């Protein structure tokens, strides 16, 4: 009986371990970079984000596209939303786009965020 249980669990464990580690790194990297970069970008526009941004990964159509959405509020209690998309996420040079809205108004649309942003015209 014990042997049968072990044999039944092996396929389940193999299936559960088949996640793409590169994809997971890309998702968490994009979430963290989006939250930090958007906070810096907003500060440069005169907005202060209260208590940081809460970010989540959205489901993607393909493994090469990573989508992240971050939500937060300004110190003036205005809702902030950041949508980030990285295409060719598995490549050395993914294409990224970030859109930031405050109270439903688009205030930023760019390919990079924050002070480290050097190539705004890509």
pTM of the model: 0.72
Q: Is residue 101 part of a domain?
A: yes
DSSP assignment letter at 33: H
Q: Which of 78, 86, 82 is nearest to 41 (CA)?
A: 82
CA dist 85 and 96 (Å) reads 6
Domain span at residue 94 reads 21-110
**What's the pLDDT tens digit per position in 51-92?**
889 999 887 667 788 889 999 999 999 999 999 998 887 777
Q: Is residue 68 part of a domain?
A: yes
Domain count, the chain: 1
Q: Is residue 121 part of a domain?
A: no
Q: Is residue 89 part of a domain?
A: yes
CA dist 72 and 5 (Å) reads 47
């Amino acid at each position: 009986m014990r042997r049968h249980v072990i044999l039944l669990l092996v396929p389940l464990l193999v299936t559960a371990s088949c996640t793409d580690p590169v994809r997971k790194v890309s998702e968490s990297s994009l979430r963290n970079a989006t939250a930090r970069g958007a906070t810096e970008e907003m500060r440069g526009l005169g907005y202060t984000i209260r208590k940081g941004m809460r970010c989540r990964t959205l489901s993607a159509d393909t493994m090469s596209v990573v989508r992240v959405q971050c939500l937060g509020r300004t110190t003036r209690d205005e809702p902030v939303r950041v949508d980030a998309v990285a295409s060719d996420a598995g490549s050395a040079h993914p294409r990224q786009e970030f859109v930031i809205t405050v109270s439903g108004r688009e205030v930023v649309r760019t390919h990079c965020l924050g002070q480290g942003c050097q190539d705004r015209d890509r």
